[in-house]
Amino acid sequence: MGDKKKTREILLRERAETLEEMNFTKKSVEYEADYVYGEGDPGIVEREKGMALTQSLSAKLAAIDHALERLDQGVYGLCTECGKEINPERLEVLPYATLCIKCKSELERHA
Ligand SMILES: [Zn+2]
């Protein structure tokens, strides 16, 4: 399973970028929070978008941390559901993926 050091670098870079993006989004949401919206104000949608983005970014951050942990445990790149290797191409696109495509699509189908 690939180069551990390189994978860690990729994950750490992704982590730093996510943190930066999160701080940026948070700041804009906080800034907007001072503003009093009227009904049907398009700013409300923007603010909700920002909050949703912050949430998805923090979920991403948790996934990256999880992947780093798994790297330390030597189980990085293995599906947490079935234990099989996750497709390397999938990991290249989504280095913090913890499910193989098969398990992920099965989970989504049951969601
Ligand atoms: Zn799986």
- Using the 8-state DSSP alphabet, how is residue 34 labeled? T
Q: What is the CATH number of domain 4-110?
A: 1.20.120.910
Distance CA 86, CA 63 (A): 15
CA of 90 to the centre of ligand 1 (A): 12
> For residue 22, what pLDDT is reported?
94
Closest listed residue to residue 68, CA positions, set 57, 80, 76, 60: 76
Neighbours of ion ligand 1 (CB under 5 A): 79, 81-82, 100, 103
Cβ of 89: how many Cβ atoms within 10 Å? 9
Share above pLDDT 90 across residues of the chain, in percent, rounded to a whole number: 69
**pLDDT-based confidence at 30, cuts 50/70/90?**
confident
Closest listed residue to residue 81, CA positions, set 108, 44, 47, 49: 108
Share above pLDDT 70 across residues of the chain, in percent, rounded to a whole number: 93
